Amino acid sequence: MLPDCTDPIQQFEQHLRSERRLSTHTIKGYLRDLHKLDGWCEKQSLSLLQLDSQHIRSCLTTLHRKGLGGRSLDRWLASLRTFFNYALKQQWLKANPAMAISAPKSAKKLPKTLDTDQVASYLAFSAESWIDCRDLAIIELFYSSGLRLSELTALNLGDIDLNDQLVTVTGKGNKSRQLPVGSHAIRALKAWLTRRREFANNDTRAIFVSRQGKRISTRTIQERLRLIGLKQNMDGKIHPHMLRHSFASHLLESSGDLRAVQELLGHANLSTTQVYTHLDFQHLAKIYDQSHPRAQKK
């Protein structure tokens, strides 16, 4: 059965708007994806309701060659499936031609890290003011122990053991783990805890507080790290997760112990931690290129 109007996309849009009551932004996304397919159909002298799975694969290949990545193509296919499912309910089609098709996987982006010299440059600022004293302790702790941003902001006074140089954090899934804290971070923390008394409210248990004496927000930490990066003339934006990635990468480079890094990061699955083996290989490849007499380029 053919649609009531000559334009099935127009009828689909009306369905999304009046029956499903989707937002204008979401509807625009669906229509943008469908018009990509419709444009391809015009070049092939086909209509949307004549397509089979081979046609969809052919269009997908064309879009991929034009530069669309895996995530964009996944969304495109999802829009197509929704449209063709609507066409099935309207009895315009007998099968959904996009149902069994998957997009090519995007290349996995490796997390950005700082090398050890860059970390040293980033941390080379005077901590005379109370805010710089606090920020130095935050950055040292991020890099020393590989904490997540949420883990660091949630820290309370009882979570740090300065004598044993340990910090107890609560990670994803409400799981607690104990982590070692390096001597540089301990020194910075001691300096900050002395200054903290000047600002913290009496009922505030948080280690890191704002100017108002309350627990510091994640947004404030992100902004402070970014500003310090600008002040220290760092390349690119510095953020908390970059310090966590740098911690993991440098630890793996030195130890080669993936299981230990997994435990320290609080990853439930080893596969999550394995991304750092790629970073480690990049480091080794760079050393090889610089050092091997038969690898050096003329």
CATH code of residue 75: 1.10.150.130
- Of 191-195, 243-247, 270-274, give the range with the top mean pLDDT: 191-195
Average pLDDT, integer, range 255-280: 64
Q: Which pLDDT score, from 0 to 100, does residue 268 have?
A: 57
Can you give the CATH number for the domain in which 161 is found?
Answer: 1.10.443.10
Q: Which pLDDT score, from 0 to 100, does residue 284 have?
A: 44
Residue 121 predicted with pLDDT over 80: yes
The tally of domains found in the chain comes to 2
> Full-prediction pTM beyond 0.85?
no
Residue 287 predicted with pLDDT over 60: no
| CA 64 to each of CA 96, 170, 237: distance values in angstroms, whole numbers, following the listed order | 21, 42, 30
Instruction: Give tens-digit pLDDT for 38-75.
Output: 999 999 999 999 999 999 999 999 998 888 888 889 99
Domain identity same for 182 and 123:
yes
Average pLDDT, integer, range 11-17: 94
Domain identity same for 195 and 232:
yes
Domain identity same for 130 and 239:
yes
The last residue of a domain, from among 204, 221, 243: 243
Phi, psi of 167 (to 5 degrees): -130, 135
Q: Which pLDDT score, from 0 to 100, does residue 38 have?
A: 94
Using pLDDT thresholds of 50, 70 and 90, give the confidence band for residue 236.
Answer: confident
Q: Which domain holds residue 62?
A: 8-89
Domain identity same for 141 and 222:
yes
Domain identity same for 139 and 234:
yes
Residue 252 predicted with pLDDT over 90: no
**Active site residue ranges:** 148, 172, 241, 244, 267, 276
Domain presence at residue 292? no
Residue 257 is encoded by which pair of tokens? 């112990």
Average pLDDT, integer, range 163-173: 87
Q: Which pLDDT score, from 0 to 100, does residue 110 have?
A: 60
Give percent of the chain above pLDDT 70: 84
Average pLDDT, integer, range 83-105: 91
Using pLDDT thresholds of 50, 70 and 90, give the confidence band for residue 76.
Answer: very high
Domain identity same for 123 and 23:
no
Q: Which pLDDT score, from 0 to 100, does residue 44 have?
A: 93
Domain identity same for 234 and 123:
yes
Average pLDDT, integer, range 170-178: 81
Domain identity same for 77 and 120:
no
Residue 107 predicted with pLDDT over 80: no
Domain identity same for 79 and 120:
no
Residues 151-179: b if buried by 16+ CB within 10 A, e if exposed: bbbbbeeebbeeeebebebebeeeeeeeb
Q: Which pLDDT score, from 0 to 100, does residue 275 have?
A: 59
